Amino acid sequence: MPIANTPTTVPVVVDEDKCIADKGCTVCVDVCPLDVLRISDLTGKAYMKYDECWYCMPCEADCPTNAVTVNIPYLLR
């Protein structure tokens, strides 16, 4: 059976102007207990790759430049 790509709005948003992942920072990716954040090969900035979020917030709290915002997943809001 073929696999579909069903769209989903993800809760974690990264402000690319503030993100310093391209300078070697990996804090948000490291601290996510579900390992759902990645650094984009294209932009060098962090983004949420998998919609598997506990909205627990270490990524936001530990980000040194306040680039990360955790929203409540739509299904819970």
Partner 1 sequence: MVFEPFEDESDFEVLADKLSDPDPAVRRVAVMDLADTADPEAIPMIASAIADESAEVRLQAAIALGEFDGLEAATALCRALQDSESKVAQAATDSLSELKDPDAADPLLALTSHENPKVREGALLGLKQLRRPDALANGIEAMKDPVAAVRIQAVGVVGYLKAEEALPALIACCRDEDPDVRRTSVGALAFSKSSHAKDALLTALNDEDWAVREIAAEVLGKFAIGTSIDPLIALLDDPYWQVRVKAVRSLGKQRVVAAVARIGAQLGEPVSNLRKEAAAALGEIADRSALSYLENLVNDPDPDVRKNVRWALTQIE
Partner 2 sequence: MDDLRAGLNEVDCDLLVIGGGTAGPMAAYRARKKNPNAKVILLEKANVKRSGAISMGMDGLNNAVIPGHSTPEQYTKEITIANDGIVDQAAVYKYAQNCYGIIEELDQFGIRFQKDENGEYDVKKVHHMGTYVLPMPNGDTVKKALYRQLRRARVLISNRYMATRLLTGKSGRAAGAIAVNTRTGEFLVIKAKAVIMCMGAAGRLGLPTSGYLYGTYENPTNSGEGYSMAYHAGAKLANLECFQINPLIKDYNGPACAYVAGPFGGYTANSKNERFIECDYWSGQMMQEFYNELQSGKGPVFLKLNHLHKDTADHIEHILHTVERPSRGRFHEQRGTKYSEQMIEMHISEIGFCSGHSASGVYVDEFARTTVPGLYAAGDMASVPHNYMLGAFTNGAIAGEHAIEFADDVDFDDFDDAATSLEQERVLAPTRRDDGIPPNQIEYKIRRLVNDYLQPPKVTAKYELCQARLAEVRHDMETQMMARDAHELMRSMEVASILDCADMAAFASLYRTESRWGLYHWRSDYPGSNDVDWKCHVLLSQENGVMTCEKKDVAPYIIPIGEDEKDAYYKQRITAQA
Which region holds residue 54: left if phi is over 0, alpha if psi is between -120 and 50, else beta?
A: alpha
Q: Scanning the structure block, which residue is given the tokens 């929203």?
A: 71
Tell whether residue 13 is a contact of partner 1 (CB under 8 A). Answer: no
Tell whether residue 24 is a contact of partner 1 (CB under 8 A). Answer: yes
Tell whether residue 42 is a contact of partner 2 (CB under 8 A). Answer: no
Q: Return the amino acid letter for 45.
A: K
CB nearer to partner 1: give 15 or 51. Answer: 15
Work out what residue 65 binds among partner 1, partner 2, none; the CB cut-off runs from 5 to 8 Å by kind: partner 1
Stretch that binds partner 1, among 22-30, 31-39, 45-53, 67-75 (CB under 8 A): 22-30
**Helix and strand element counts for the chain (H, E):** 2, 4
Q: Return the amino acid letter for 68.
A: V
Find out whether 12 and 37 touch, Cβ atoms under 8 Å: yes
Interacting residues with partner 1 (CB under 8 A): 20, 23-25, 27, 64-65
